[in-house]
Structure 1
Amino acid sequence: MRFLFVLVLICGLTKGWAQIPAGKAFRVVPLGVKGGVDESNLSAYLLAAQGTNSYVCLDAGTLHAGIKKAIQNQVFKVDYNKVLKDYIKGYLISHAHLDHLAGLVLNSTEDGKKPIYATESNLDIFRKHYFNWKAWPNFGSEGDQPALSKYQYTVLAPGTETPIDGTGLSVRAFPLSHGFSYQSTAFLLKSGGAYALYLGDTGPDLIEKSTNLAQLWKAIQPLVQARTLKALLIEVSYPNEQPDNQLFGHLTPNWLMHELTALSKLTGPDALKDFPVVITHMKPTGTNEAQIKQQLREANRLKVKLIFPEQGKLLEF
């Protein structure tokens, strides 16, 4: 009888362990993956430490439709309000373009109290142009009165590690150039000794006349080499046919591979083999998406692991 009890206990524990993939540090739930046009599927990615339901939302272009899709896919086995109000502990907003925050604004009436993390310049756009009692009620903690303080504005100083309340995660922000001298942001998230890197919209350094990506690659070099950086989420908005003077602060397959090659020169090419690169923000017009996927695969001489996320389908790294 004792032997049978021990056997059942071991089987039960083993089954529990099997639900957490070995070596996986993060759960990522794409709530929106596209770069425009389809308002039901715009940039938004939930990220949590493995084994928890304490998520930060990386940009928030779409919330409602994405949460519903994730529930349909059995990623979440609770209702919509539970995910929105309780599972999402805060928002990291890379920049203040509508396709990256419209879901946050529109769902703010139903949301719970939580922080918005962003650079000072992007928080200022919230204060002046969104939560201002003209475009929308002021659910922020500052700005036009009365400030309802549902969302606490938390300034991210570039390069400074900031804890994300209620998640066990921390984040460092890095500046990106997104056309016409407009600043976007990259977020390096940390859970224990593991990292994930999410980039908001960005153009290549050569076109943007910037060194922002070069500085970012330098910062993550040791993490790639140590294999503690578990994934990179980065945009490719247009196929290679898009002229350089019409990129508007975005990447093409060729420009992404140009930038990854610059990273490989710091890390050594072998460090990028099978490294997960999640392609975000593809613009869903015409044959753009099919072209981008084909061109990325054909240009993938570094042999990174290309991942094309789908709305509401779980990713683990």
Structure 2
Amino acid sequence: MHCYFWSFLLALLVALPARGQRTEPPAFTVVPLGVKGGIEEGNLSAYMVAPVGSSSYVCLDAGSLRQGIENAVRNKVFSVPADTVLRSYIKAYLVSHAHLDHVAGLLLNAPDDAPKDIYGLANCLTTIQNDYFNWRAWPNFGDGGNPPALRKYRFRELVPQQAVPLESTRLSVQTFVLSHAKPYQSAAFLLKSQDSYLLYLGDTGADELEQAHNLRAVWQAVRPLVKAHQLRAIFMEASYPNAQPSTQLFGHLTPALLMQEMNTLALLAGPDALRGLPVVVTHLKPTASNEQTIKKQLAEANKLQLKLIFPVQGQRLEF
């Protein structure tokens, strides 16, 4: 009888959710419009995010827009036409950095878009305005620069560490500077909806290789949210397999470097706090061998028992 009792108790404990796994209702809806780190022009970094139940989204980066939206419509994520999603559902863009694989969709769809805000760090907005919206590379859809300014988009500069509300949404954002092949800057966005958070990191190199402390500053900032189980997900890149030489990473991460950074966060927040935490792996360089190797290496290195998610264009996620 004693043996049966302990067997029953062990089975019950196994069935219980591990500490750190979430049982509360989802707080965020995420629609990936593009998930790759290059080559596939119609599937580049872009993620629509809104509080669950809202149709007022922000778009985190905008490498690809229309193809992702059309895939989402086909998948019945949206019940309205793609043009309505582009013009009305996306209320603003948050651009981590101005590399083409993060802004091409925004540029190409600008003629058909509705007026809205583009949020970003100062150097990112300056690049978009001066190098793209300049009447040489593309018409000036911005609100400054070479005249005439068409004022389709209003540039909203984000100050690092400062939390600001995102107009026409129920979200706010806090921005952190990242190093993407030093000295080039990228950004991380910490989105808040009520008492829940979602962390999106643009392209970034590891602190160790970038000789910076930018990622550690992000981990310090989110540590209390992880400990309180308020951080619903981390979006973070793994562009190359571990065999990629460090001199040819160009400010990107490998599975080993991603897990190294997660271990830094675990040291700050406690390893149990990370168990079951969703980590959405972004920006994989799309060759079949690369992707399979990256996924295998991440799975093998996942000692923290993170919930690894590989997003698919046009398929909704909830956190």
Q: TM-score, normalised by structure 2?
A: 0.92
The runs of 5 or more residues in structure 1 that have no matched partner are 1-20
Q: CA deviation at 1:23?
A: 1.8
Name the counterpart of 1:213. 215
Name the counterpart of 1:196. 198
- Aligned to 1:313, the other structure's residue is in SS state coil
1:41 aligns with 2:43: yes
- CA deviations on 1:92-142 (whole Å, 9 max, x unpaired) are 000000000000000000000000000111100011100001100000011
- CA deviations on 1:265-289 (whole Å, 9 max, x unpaired) are 0001000000000000000025100
Name the counterpart of 1:18. none
Name the counterpart of 2:106. 104
CA distance in 2, matches of 1:56, 1:171: 11
CA distance in 2, matches of 1:129, 1:254: 35
CA distance in 2, matches of 1:164, 1:130: 24
CA distance in 1, matches of 2:44, 2:297: 22
Name the counterpart of 2:156. 154
What amino acid sits opposite 1:97 in the alignment?
H
Name the counterpart of 1:141. 143
Identity of aligned residues (%): 57
- CA deviations on 1:160-196 (whole Å, 9 max, x unpaired) are 1111111110001000000031000000000011100
Name the counterpart of 2:284. 282
Name the counterpart of 1:125. 127
- Aligned to 2:29, the other structure's residue is in SS state strand
CA distance in 2, matches of 1:286, 1:60: 24
CA distance in 2, matches of 1:164, 1:142: 21
Name the counterpart of 1:53. 55
CA distance in 1, matches of 2:294, 2:152: 39
Q: CA deviation at 1:245?
A: 1.1
Name the counterpart of 1:311. 313
CA distance in 2, matches of 1:143, 1:194: 38
CA root-mean-square deviation? 0.8
1:25 aligns with 2:27: yes
Name the counterpart of 2:233. 231
What amino acid sits opposite 1:265 in the alignment?
L
Comparing 160-169 with 194-203, which one deviates more in the overlay? 160-169
Q: CA deviation at 1:199?
A: 0.3
Name the counterpart of 1:241. 243
1:161-180 residue pairs with structure 2 within 5 A?
161-180=163-182
Name the counterpart of 1:267. 269
Structure 1 runs (4+) deviating above 3 angstroms are none
Name the counterpart of 2:81. 79
What amino acid sits opposite 1:103 in the alignment?
G
CA distance in 1, matches of 2:228, 2:25: 14
- Aligned to 2:247, the other structure's residue is in SS state helix
- CA deviations on 1:7-65 (whole Å, 9 max, x unpaired) are xxxxxxxxxxxxxx952100000000000000010000000001101000000000010
CA distance in 1, matches of 2:268, 2:128: 37
Q: TM-score, normalised by structure 1?
A: 0.93
- Aligned to 1:207, the other structure's residue is in SS state helix
- Aligned to 1:101, the other structure's residue is in SS state helix
What amino acid sits opposite 1:268 in the alignment?
G
Of residues 292, 295, 298, the one that matches 1:293 is 295
The runs of 5 or more residues in structure 2 that have no matched partner are 1-22
Name the counterpart of 1:16. none
1:80-95 residue pairs with structure 2 within 5 A?
80-95=82-97
CA distance in 2, matches of 1:51, 1:217: 29
